[in-house]
């Protein structure tokens, strides 16, 4: 799976998780992994890897920026590159 596609899935997963959170608590790594499995059809291994890498390598500010972006907001090129680099180790997971 192309890194750009995985990065878009992560952003979408974080946005979905944030919008579906009734109590306002922050999205967790396990929330993101579950959304990637259930709503984005990734295997458990790939979803767990992607969620883990995103939460390990992105700062809290960057994760917040991803959670709070609107559906039409562009992702800053620097943040997109960082997100793609974060999920790169997952490209071969599950294959």
Domain extents for the chain?
A: 3-90
Residues 15-31: tens digit of each pLDDT: 555 544 555 455 788 88
Least confident of 8-12, 37-41, 85-89: 8-12
Q: List, as one string, the DSSP characters of 35-83.
A: HHHHTT---HHHHHHHHHHHHHHS-HHHHHHHHH--TTPPPPHHHHHHH
Of 5-9, 19-23, 35-39, 70-74, least confident by mean pLDDT is: 19-23
């Amino acid at each position: 799976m192309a890194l750009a596609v995985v990065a878009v899935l992560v952003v979408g997963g974080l946005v979905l998780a944030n919008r579906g959170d009734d109590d306002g608590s922050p999205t967790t790594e396990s929330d993101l992994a579950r959304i990637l499995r259930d709503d984005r059809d990734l295997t458990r291994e790939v979803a767990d890897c992607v969620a883990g890498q995103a939460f390990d390598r992105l700062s809290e500010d960057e994760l917040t920026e991803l959670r709070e972006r609107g559906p039409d907001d562009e992702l800053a090129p620097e943040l997109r590159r960082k997100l793609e680099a974060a999920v790169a180790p997952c490209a071969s997971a599950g294959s």
